[in-house]
């Protein structure tokens, strides 16, 4: 997977475009440029993007762990991935040994 970083200039341009669209849809604030609220919006978007990236990375780790688990055919791998729909299950699964993963998957597919 390609590691892509967004430059600060691109990020600021993107956020200013969003802010401009929001201003056009609501009455103007008391201060046209309320930097505190802009910074808060930036932090919120940044946090959402970070959470999404973390979830994608965790899903990749889980899929690799499933593929390394012995005694699983392709169909069982896909079913196992659907069992790991919560962070708690995913964290516990990644801490298991390959044999424990195999037993856990077999137990849940019965």
- For 45-60, give the DSSP string: HHHHHHHHHHHHHHHH
> Which tokens hold the place of 24?
């056009």
Quick: pLDDT tens for 94-105. 888 989 988 888
Mention every residue, 6+ apart, whose C-beta is less than 8 A from residue 99: 70
Question: Looking at residue 18, what is its pLDDT?
Answer: 74
Is 41 within a domain? yes
Is 1 within a domain? no
pTM for the whole structure: 0.45
> Which tokens hold the place of 110?
């019965």
Range of the domain at 82: 8-109
Quick: pLDDT tens for 34-90. 666 666 777 778 888 888 888 777 777 888 888 888 888 888 888 888 888 766 678
Question: Looking at residue 29, what is its pLDDT?
Answer: 53
Is 2 within a domain? no
């Amino acid at each position: 997977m390609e590691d892509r970083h967004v430059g600060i200039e691109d990020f600021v341009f993107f956020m200013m475009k969003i802010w401009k669209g929001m201003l056009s849809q609501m009455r103007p604030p008391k201060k046209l440029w309320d930097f505190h609220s802009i910074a808060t919006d930036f932090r919120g978007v940044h946090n959402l993007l970070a959470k999404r990236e973390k979830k994608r990375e965790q899903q990749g780790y889980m899929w690799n762990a499933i593929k390394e688990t012995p005694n699983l055919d392709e169909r069982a791998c896909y079913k196992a991935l659907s069992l790991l729909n919560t962070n708690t299950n995913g964290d516990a699964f990644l801490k298991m040994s390959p044999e424990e993963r195999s037993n856990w998957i077999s137990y849940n597919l019965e």
